[in-house]
A and B are shown apart, each in its own frame.
Chain A
Amino acid sequence: EPEVTQTPSHQVTQMGQEVILRCVPISNHLYFYWYRQILGQKVEFLVSFYNNEISEKSEIFDDQFSVERPDGSNFTLKIRSTKLEDSAMYFCASLEGKTREQYFGPGTRLTVT
């Protein structure tokens, strides 16, 4: 069964460093998303991406964040200069468009020290 994959599963970085979180959405899906979940809290929307551009972003998604779909399969989230409060689980999701089933990857746990 097709699934969304994410790498790495765990990333530890120092404050101020850049990180890139990678996702491979399901191959025939057209809509892509990033969410984050701070430990013990609800899942929060960051950004959605369709037709090679951002379709919506939240207040969390400030100038430190960017997304890219560099080729036909990968979807990346870059945090330019990480802060302690960026520590969270980051989930990628994708949706085909014909159905309303948004599938999530297993997540990348980002720890900023």
Chain B
Amino acid sequence: GEDVEQSLFLSVREGDSSVINCTYTDSSSTYLYWYKQEPGAGLQLLTYIFSNMDMKQDQRLTVLLNKKDKHLSLRIADTQTGDSAIYFCAESFGNEKLTFGTGTRLTIIP
């Protein structure tokens, strides 16, 4: 079955890099996503990676995928106060449903 796990909390000093980790169980996942949810708001798509890729970089965001270990990470460089949010990883099989992780609450320490 599908199961996606994340650490619940992460605190990072402003200006440092944040690394949010995610593990998933279903090796047939074809796409893996990162979404950001600010308080009281919807889900903002940050980035996604196809399962045959190892890495994807988009400005301050770097996604790393270790398919052998079924491990996905999101690195945010130069973390700012506006990055405070809950970050969800999710997996899918093309146009089908997303299966979300538990979410990681990122807190920025000034």
Shortest distance from the beta carbon of A43 to any chain B beta carbon, whole Å: 4
Known: A91-B42, A91-B43, A105-B42. A50 touches B95 (CB 8 A): yes
Partner of B95, one of A44, A45, A91, A95: A95
Partner of B41, one of A43, A44, A56, A106: A106
A49 CA to B58 CA in the complex, in Å?
31
Asked if A101 is at the interface of the complex by the 8 Å CB criterion, the answer is: yes
- Nearest-neighbor residue (CB-CB) of B50 within chain A: A100
Determine whether the beta carbon of B102 is less than 8 Å from that of A42: yes
Shortest distance from the beta carbon of A104 to any chain B beta carbon, whole Å: 4
Asked if B96 is at the interface of the complex by the 8 Å CB criterion, the answer is: yes
Contact code string B82-110 (vs A, CB < 8 Å = 1, else 0): 00000010101011111111110000000
**B44 CB contacts on chain A under 8 angstroms:** 104
A35 CA to B100 CA in the complex, in Å?
10
Q: Number of contact residues on B: which range applies?
A: 20 to 34
Determine whether the beta carbon of B97 is less than 8 Å from that of A48: yes
CB contacts under 8 Å to B, within A57-99, are 58, 91, 93, 95, 97
Asked if A107 is at the interface of the complex by the 8 Å CB criterion, the answer is: yes
A103 CA to B43 CA in the complex, in Å?
8
**B48 CB contacts on chain A under 8 angstroms:** 100-101
Shortest distance from the beta carbon of B68 to any chain A beta carbon, whole Å: 22
Determine whether the beta carbon of A45 is less than 8 Å from that of B42: no
Task: Give 29 CB contacts A-B under 8 Å.
Answer: A33-B97, A42-B101, A42-B103, A43-B43, A43-B100, A45-B97, A45-B99, A48-B96, A48-B97, A50-B95, A55-B96, A56-B97, A58-B97, A91-B42, A93-B43, A95-B95, A100-B31, A100-B48, A100-B50, A100-B94, A102-B33, A102-B92, A102-B98, A104-B35, A104-B44, A105-B42, A106-B41, A106-B42, A107-B41
A-B contact sample (6 more), CB < 8 A, given A43-B100, A100-B92: A35-B98, A42-B88, A42-B101, A56-B96, A102-B45, A107-B41
